Amino acid sequence: MNTLSNKEKIIIIAVILGIGLASAGGVITMVNSASRATKIYQQAFEDYRTGNFQNSYYQFSKISFFSDLKPLAIYRQAKCAEDLGDYDAAVKQYQFLFSNYPEHRLSLRSKYHAARLLTESRAELAQKYFEEILETNPHTDYGIASEYFLGKILLSSSDSLTEEEKLSVKNYYISYLEKSPSGRWSQNILKEIQTASLPLSTKDYLLLAKSYYLAGDMTSAEKALFHVPAAKSWALNAKISFRDGNTSKAKALTEYGLSFHSGDVDIEDLQDAVNLYVQKERDDYAALSKLYSYPASAGRDYILNLKCESAPSSKQLDCYRELYNKFPSGEYAGDALANIFMIQVKNKDYVPAKINGRSYLNKYNNIKYAPMVMYWMGKITEAVSGDRDEYVSYFRGVIARYPDNYYAYRAYLNLNDMHSAIINNYINEKEVKYPYAHDKPAKLNIKLADIGDYDLLFELNDDEFIKSWIYYQKGDYSHSMLVARDAMEKIDDKPDKYDLRWRLVYPIDYYETIKKYSSEVGNNSPLILAIVREESYFNPEAKSAVGAGGLMQLMPSTAKEIGAKHGVNIQSVDDLFDSELNIKLGNYYYAELKSMLNGLDISSVAAYNGGIGSVNRWKNSLYYNDTDEFVEQIPYSETKDYVKKVFRSYWNYIRIYSGNE
């Protein structure tokens, strides 16, 4: 066996150390280079933001091609040149970007901007770019806008277009309006169609009328409808008449359409016409009964569903049975069966209720009423048979399938034999973070957020949770929460409670202030946080139609009364928009309600929305055995929904913010 001499060993070690040091030096150089690129971009963007476009252009050019910021810098250079009026330079930068970075998210946007700038000077090249955008990305905003510009280029190409060319222009314009009837370029299209003799069909005129309607031009909308048969136009005509204040004409059109011609009309226009009709009547149920009596084929299940919702309690069961039996495959069949089930539960008619509950869960397991039906199947099983395995399986099923739902909260209380509405009085505060732990673009996104280049940050990301995170970084907490909430609603199989997206759906903004005043008066801090979320969506400037204002939506009179009791002088309505003062008074008010309602939080939350007088009246007039029965029987649908929303939020705050990171 050959052995290495000490000298040879020293040489090998030296070589290895040399390679290691060289590698480390390379890494340090790369890190320094990345840090330098970020600093340059930050300075360049600051110049851009302050209008120093010339210096900004120069600074952006200094960013290395090895930096992930380079494509963004090229795009910003193009914008600088455009703002300086040097359109040739802007086009060159846009072209460089989409030619050299064809897969980059800014490539499509750059090609669109280049085409837009070339429309007047080099129409053929602009047309080529717009056609490429339309071919590869027809349903994006850029693809839709390209249809407008392609029509405009063709329309401007000659004073006397052939019939075939006119048809092409028309097709581009109509296609745009179909996809975006109230879009940025819709007004231009409507004007250009008026001045050009384009070959329009009945369908085209109806589309024009809708676009005019959305733009608020009722006169032009009515003129366009002159070319559309009544069978297709009556619903939109009725909407126009309602908007113009001609109620008698609008009602006559609606009744006429539902009598003879509902099959050919746009169903959304029909539903809008029905809604506007009912709004003008004092008795919703009577109005809907009248409209349902007309033999229209389309929209009858919609009208009947509204009729059932407004029906007196004594007539609702029969109404929903008619809806379910007449339209078993319709859009509202599931809702009807769920309502039949709940009415039977309230009537304690448990045998048919269980049959209908099982039927519902077999047919409609993923729509809005499934958690409610599953929960109440557990409740009535527990009450009737006492089969623990069966009712526990229902409660666990609600928590497993619909973990963020109000009924998951109620199921948790039942499984743990908890008789109070309150689970915990505290949460472990966790900061909002970037919503995806292992997302590749995360570093670039966080870098741009730190710089403050939100425009490009939005352009680089389609994901709604990332958009929510961007709004949060901007300090727009209300918009952030609403975007995340809507995105989470679209997910059928909800992520586990540790998923970072939940923190955007249920952020803990203003929690330190909430804790401070909740502790002072003995309120539950997470519950008050839930009230703030549902009252104002964390918008300190929120103002309701009836004049309630601020984070906890206090009425001025209530705020003054509560303030006077606690030595707080409310001088003007503007005081309600002081976040800390609003939270302080809101806590005092809630504590007062709770003291008058035997310390019951369910009742107090109901009173916060519906008034303490109403809650006391319901407690004396309703027949109920437990909290669940009381909530389901609250006569004001707004208050019933409010109670469920607040405690759903409370449950999620406890669920998401329990434990450590």
Between the alpha carbon of residue 603 and those of residues 155, 313, 408, the distances in Å are: 66, 23, 20
Confidence of residue 648 (pLDDT cuts 50, 70, 90): very high
Average pLDDT over residues 160-168: 92
* pLDDT tens digits along 28-58: 344 447 789 999 999 999 999 999 999 999 9
Are 638 and 614 in contact by the 8 Å Cβ rule? The answer is no
Dist. CA 625–CA 380, nearest whole Å:
13
> pLDDT at residue 22 above 50?
no
Query: Which CATH code, of 1.25.40.10, 1.10.10.10, 3.20.20.140, 3.40.47.10, is assigned to 37-193?
Result: 1.25.40.10
Q: Is 245 left (phi over 0), alpha (psi -120 to 50) or beta?
A: left
CA 201 vs. chain centroid, Å, equals 36
CATH architecture of 511-656: Orthogonal Bundle (1.10)
pLDDT of 27 reads 39
Total number of residues shown for the chain: 661
Spatial contact of 372 and 345, defined as CB atoms under 8 Å apart: no
Domains 200-310 and 511-656 share a fold: no
Mean pLDDT rounded to a whole number for the chain = 93
Q: What is the pLDDT of residues 330-350, one digit of tens each?
A: 999 999 999 999 999 999 999
* b/e map 410-440, b = 16+ CB within 10 Å: bbbbbeeeeeebebbeebeebebbbbbeeee
Cβ contacts of 81-86, under 8 Å, gap ≥ 24: 81/53, 81/57, 82/113, 82/117, 83/53, 84/53, 84/54, 84/57
Q: Are 238 and 276 in contact (CB under 8 A)?
A: yes
Domain residue extents for the chain: 37-193, 200-310, 442-505, 511-656
168-183 burial code (b ≥16 CB/10 A, e <16): bbbbbbbbbbeebbeb
- 575: how many CB neighbours lie within 10 A of its CB? 20
Fold exhibited by the domain 200-310:
1.25.40
Residue 3 — very low, low, confident or very high, per pLDDT cuts 50/70/90?
low
Contact between 174 and 198 under an 8 Å Cβ cutoff? The reply is no
pLDDT at 506: 98
How far is 293 from 303, CA to CA, in rounded Å?
Answer: 10
| Residue 2 confidence class, pLDDT cut points 50, 70, 90 | low
- Give the other-Cβ count within 10 Å of 355's Cβ: 12
- 21 to 18, 26, 77, 373: CA distances (angstroms): 5, 9, 38, 67
Pairwise pLDDT comparison (443 vs 4), residue with the higher score = 443
pLDDT value, residue 28:
36
Quick check: 447 pLDDT over 60?
A: yes
Q: Write the single-letter amino acid at 646.
A: V
Residue 654, pLDDT > 90, answer yes
Confidence (pTM): 0.89
Q: Confidence band (pLDDT; 50, 70, 90) for 371?
A: very high
